[in-house]
Structure 1
């Protein structure tokens, strides 16, 4: 069985998005043969060589003022010089994204779109969350996966007056685990396909 490596690159100021990132990491590691590399955006900027060798990257940022955080944007812009200028090393890798905000909607879609465009600029293949919205009927529940109804990536909501040891809620963390598992499973499928065709990884 081939092995795959998935990096989770995230920024978190108060710890809420870090918990989401840890859940994504746990989801990756649920797939046999998949290894997760968890790193902050600051750490990532010292580990470009490692990121160039992984099979996929799942990006995460809190949503601040209708977009990704300044720290994530710094990493995003640094990738232009460190990766694009060095021969498009991320091209054809898998990519996905997650974000967290204090409000239920909180313009999280804007952040996911920014992250998806980052992946597109690198020539990566975007993986969506592949979950229907669940908390959208009288029979729905905020205890279910994708309770916030996002398709592009994993979204979480953390009450602004609660610490990271309380929020995001378990349903949002489970959604993050689902995304990590999905990306790792798809990476494994691609790796097996390449191996069967005799294509070098």
Structure 2
């Protein structure tokens, strides 16, 4: 039995955000005692009990038109009946988020804010990226973690003329793995502290 279970729930329109989700899961599973479960938003809506049993949920969506995709919004709205009708079933779970878009900024912050507000509505504890912004000086590089400079969650950028086999770049996937590890480590501390 793992010490903590972390669910990664995401929507990916073209596969790029899916690669980011896989990186978050891989990062979480690098932490001894953590097990991660990867669910698309469609799968998640048939597995509410597994989400209720998770200690943390990491939410991911592409940024379309300055916010999460419609498919992710539909999942958010479905939680009002499936989760909130049971009381605050997700209260005190750890939460975090990630997003991807074609532009370097792409209004990804608006999506991360929406994800954080969604988690707050469920009484969850949000975990930020905890990485300084990078690639912001002459000594910086596009290969740096958090090259896009987000604090609230992991941001990735995928060139619109590249498929998910080539984008997002490795630095963004490494940033997503960092987020997964951070969530797993934070969740372990939280769960063990609560047990003590």
Q: Residue 145 of structure 2 aligns with which residue? A: 145
Quote the Cα distance in structure 1 between the aligned partners of 2:69 and 2:36.
23
Q: Residue 160 of structure 2 aligns with which residue? A: 160
Cα drift, residue 85 of structure 1: 1.4
Quote the Cα distance in structure 1 between the aligned partners of 2:83 and 2:141.
42
Cα drift, residue 191 of structure 1: 2.1
Divergent runs of 4+, >3 A: none
The reply on whether 1:50 has 2:30 as its aligned counterpart is no
CA contact (8 A) 1:15 1:164 kept: yes
Q: Give the total of aligned pairs.
A: 196
Cα drift, residue 87 of structure 1: 1.1
The TM-score normalised by the length of structure 1 is: 0.96
Give runs of aligned pairs for residues 14-163 of structure 1, distance below 5 A: 14-163=14-163
Quote the Cα distance in structure 2 between the aligned partners of 1:115 and 1:85.
20
The reply on whether 1:9 has 2:9 as its aligned counterpart is yes
Q: Residue 173 of structure 1 aligns with which residue? A: 173
Structure 1 unaligned residues grouped into runs of 5+: none
Structure 2 unaligned residues grouped into runs of 5+: none
Quote the Cα distance in structure 1 between the aligned partners of 2:89 and 2:34.
20
CA contact (8 A) 2:2 2:35 kept: no
Cα drift, residue 117 of structure 1: 0.4
Q: C-alpha root-mean-square deviation of aligned residues, in Å?
A: 1.0
The TM-score normalised by the length of structure 2 is: 0.98
